[in-house]
Structure 1
Amino acid sequence: MEHWDVVVVGGGPAGAASALAARRADPSARVLVLDRVDFPRDKVCGDGVAAEALDVLAVLGIDPVAVTDGHPAVSRLRLTSPRGTTVERDTARPSHVIPRTVLDARLIAAAQDAGAVLRRHVVRQVTVHPDAVEVDGSVTAAVLIAADGAESVVRRAVGAGRNRADQLAVAIRGYGAELPGRRGVQVITTTEQRWPAYAWSFPLGDGRANIGYGELVSGGATRAGLLEGLQRLLPGVEGSQLRAHRLPLSTGRPHQPDGRVLLAGDAAALINPLTGEGIFYAVLSGALAGAASGHGAVAGAVYRRALDRRLGRHLRSSAAASRLSRWPVLMDAAFRAAAADQRVFDDVVALGLADGRLTARTLAAATRHLRPGWPA
């Protein structure tokens, strides 16, 4: 039976960041990444990469220019509230829209360049022993990092379970032409119908866009309903490669157990409940998991504390904002406040796309912009 210092299940952004961080923390560490398919491969996603995600990758030794090459920065963002309030501004820092076929291949190649070994393998069984974690009776690891996505086999194996239906979204994504009159603009349009739900169009820089629509599973989501929602919010769009995926929202993130198994990215239910953003969370949690992997039997506790220090206040803010957003009138007020004040707009964007917090400035501004008759 092979023994490795660190085994990472899943080679997406969380897995690649985990492998990079593990090798960076200990250049002698033997790191194995297991993924069910070969790269490059598609992954259903909005493809948006925030500047803060690139910051994490830079710390891990990846040149952001190499990651974004061929995919221009997008600085303009248009938001529409459930009742039709629209704000369009430049973001404090531009983001990039990079198809996962490109992004994931670049990141896992960087992990291999750093000394990690990539192997195609479908993980079916994980057994935790006092001194190691066994994978499918053929590989053991001092520490195993689960970066195997929303349907994580590893998460189930350690008893973390899955999110409740009201903490689980489902989205459909495709590729099509950019919206007329919105070239070079990221668009997020929310709706009061089947709320909370929203559609997006994120420009790729070549006249095409990543387009999609998502809503909560608890609302009775179906493929037909997702397609109808996409057409209703983005009339006339035609998308190819339309595929659906589930999004375990961070409001229901599994408890990180003590011990030798660490959960990162979607496997840890790290998806922003306001926007569905997950790549920043993936690379950040992966980096923290990889850094903690050298602690062996206590790696879980070390990682949990690091995750709470780095993201705890943000996750509590995003959960609170998600609860408040269930009242569309509050979303309208927040968007009106963002239209009136660039600083509020920046706060809202940071909360939804990075690690921002629900600030007193935003709360006060939203309160001032409430329409008469609240609550309604």
Structure 2
Amino acid sequence: MQTYDVVVCGAGPAGAMAAAEAARSGLKVALLEKQVLPRHKTCGGGMPMTIQQFLWDLAPEAFVESNVTHMRHTWEFDDPYLGAINPEGVSHQLSLWMVQRSIFDQALAQRAVRAGAELRDGLAVRSLIPEADGVVVRAQGIKTGAEFTAKARYVIGADGANGVVVKATQLRQKRSIAIALEVEHPHTWGTGHADLRPEVVHLEYGAVKQGYAWIFPKGDHLNVGAGLFRPGKLDPRKDPTVRAELQQTICDYLTTMGVAYDRSQLRFHGHPLPTWSGKEPLHEGRILLVGDAAGLVNPLFGDGILHAVKSGHIAGQCLAEDAAQAYTQRIHREFAGNFDAALALAKVFYQWPGICYKYGVKYERSTRLATQLLCDDLHFTEMTERAMNRLKRSVGNHFFPAWNES
């Protein structure tokens, strides 16, 4: 049996960051990944440029395919509003980066290797057995069938919302799940709608009830998707109509933007988004959860890459400092207040999206404010009350009972 200080299960952004931080401190780390890297990962692939502060030793040119400076908003594919992330007179320039997760995750995994972690890809974790002084991890090669058994002082679960690690604990028993569906469609820039440009993200709010759709520009293709958010309600995966609704929205978006496609050739990829639903324990004994496994997806926007990287950074630091029992408290200190405020706003936005679009999204400063929130340049705790007051002034003080109950 091999022995490690830390075994990280999952080599996405959260796991790779945790492995790098722990290994950099001198701990013996194994980073396990079920698939052989690089591998496709269903994800919109958008992230704020401020993620660079955690990836200081990686050149953005290695993984960034588009640098977004504008958002084009629509309601039921009409009533467009093109908003600048950096309107005239703004000195602090911000942008959103678009990446392919296969490239981005590979870059982060190799970064962890350079920090001293041992990468074992193509190795699927099968079981975890907690013991008094560690955790026994059993895994198997997906191609070779070879058995891998190791004992670690600590295990970091970075294998997603439905991963093996969280199932081996009593953590995350009640989860709030959103669902997203997307396609990767080849695109030649200069064709289709005039606003299809590498620097423009497209966001559509009326086509999906309690959700939104998007078009994210990549190097040679478009990531076109739709997501369903029902804050505080049942898992939408249990609704048999959801998949067809999201598929149709994606097709309608392609048609509206003048993108020719053959529906029979579209490959729809679905994935759950475990959104924040409130404070809860995120470590149990010697097992810590990060990223999607910990439910660290913003309940309003549905973004998770920056939060995954942050949680991996915190987990790695906790183990480096021999402070694993402080992990949940540190995660709550970093995320809870901001995400609680985002959740309160999400309950209003997804109940009255038309009103919020007219008086909120189309507000001249909203694109800038949304980007500041995504970049962690502004916190929901600072602006949620302001946003609600603006809506109340616009449509009447008593129109939003859900806000008063939240």
Say whether the fold is shared (TM-score over 0.5). yes
Structure 1 unaligned segments of length 5 or more: list them.
Answer: none
The change in CA–CA distance for 1:326 and 1:226 in structure 2 (over 3 A counts) is closer
Secondary structure of the residue aligned to 1:277 is coil
Q: Deviations along 1:224-268, whole A, 9 cap, x unmatched?
A: 232112224443554744211111111267531343111011111
Alignment of 1:293-304 (within 5 A): 293-296=319-322, 299=324, 301-304=325-328
**Partner residue, 1:248:** 274
Q: Deviations along 1:52-79, whole A, 9 cap, x unmatched?
A: 3222222xx43444443xx231111123
Secondary structure of the residue aligned to 2:215 is strand
Correspondence for 2:35 among 20, 34, 37: 37
**Partner residue, 2:85:** 91
Structure 2 unaligned segments of length 5 or more: list them.
Answer: 87-93, 139-147, 230-234, 402-406
The change in CA–CA distance for 1:48 and 1:67 in structure 2 (over 3 A counts) is same
Is contact 1:163-1:252 (8 Å) kept? no
**Partner residue, 2:155:** 144
What amino acid does structure 1 have at the position aligned with 2:180? Answer: A
Instruction: Indicate yes or no: 2:380 matched with 1:357.
Output: yes
Higher helix share: 1
Is contact 2:66-2:217 (8 Å) kept? no
Alignment of 1:15-164 (within 5 A): 15-24=15-24, 26=25, 28-58=26-56, 61-68=57-64, 71-80=65-74, 86-92=80-86, 93-120=94-121, 121-136=123-138, 138-161=149-172, 163-164=174-175
CA distance in 2, matches of 1:38, 1:262: 24
Deviation, 1:375, is 5.7
Task: State the superposition RMSD in angstroms.
Answer: 2.7
Q: Which runs of 4+ in 1 moved over 6 A?
A: none
What amino acid does structure 2 have at the position aligned with 1:135? Answer: V
Instruction: Indicate yes or no: 2:352 matched with 1:328.
Output: yes
**Partner residue, 1:191:** 206
The change in CA–CA distance for 1:131 and 1:375 in structure 2 (over 3 A counts) is closer
Larger radius of gyration: 2
CA distance in 2, matches of 1:23, 1:82: 49
Q: Deviations along 1:78-135, whole A, 9 cap, x unmatched?
A: 2335796654222251111111111111111111111111113111111111210110
Instruction: Indicate yes or no: 2:12 matched with 1:12.
Output: yes
Secondary structure of the residue aligned to 1:225 is helix
Is contact 2:213-2:227 (8 Å) kept? yes
TM score, norm. by length of structure 1: 0.86
Q: Deviations along 1:173-226, whole A, 9 cap, x unmatched?
A: 111237612223101112265x212111000143x2111112244354543232
What amino acid does structure 2 have at the position aligned with 1:96? Answer: W
The change in CA–CA distance for 1:273 and 1:352 in structure 2 (over 3 A counts) is farther
**Partner residue, 2:145:** none
Secondary structure of the residue aligned to 1:123 is strand
Secondary structure of the residue aligned to 1:133 is strand
What amino acid does structure 1 have at the position aligned with 2:248? Answer: E
**Partner residue, 2:392:** 367
Q: Deviations along 1:306-351, whole A, 9 cap, x unmatched?
A: 212222221111111111223225x634653453342x43333344
- Comparing 102-111 with 302-311, greater Cα deviation is found at 302-311
The change in CA–CA distance for 1:308 and 1:253 in structure 2 (over 3 A counts) is closer
Secondary structure of the residue aligned to 1:142 is strand
CA distance in 2, matches of 1:332, 1:305: 37
Q: Deviations along 1:275-319, whole A, 9 cap, x unmatched?
A: 2211111111111111112355x50x3111221222222111111
CA distance in 1, matches of 2:281, 2:95: 33
CA distance in 2, matches of 1:314, 1:373: 25
Correspondence for 2:316 among 290, 300, 307: 290
Secondary structure of the residue aligned to 1:77 is strand
Instruction: Indicate yes or no: 2:217 matched with 1:203.
Output: yes
TM score, norm. by length of structure 2: 0.80
Q: Deviations along 1:151-174, whole A, 9 cap, x unmatched?
A: 11101101224554xx21221111
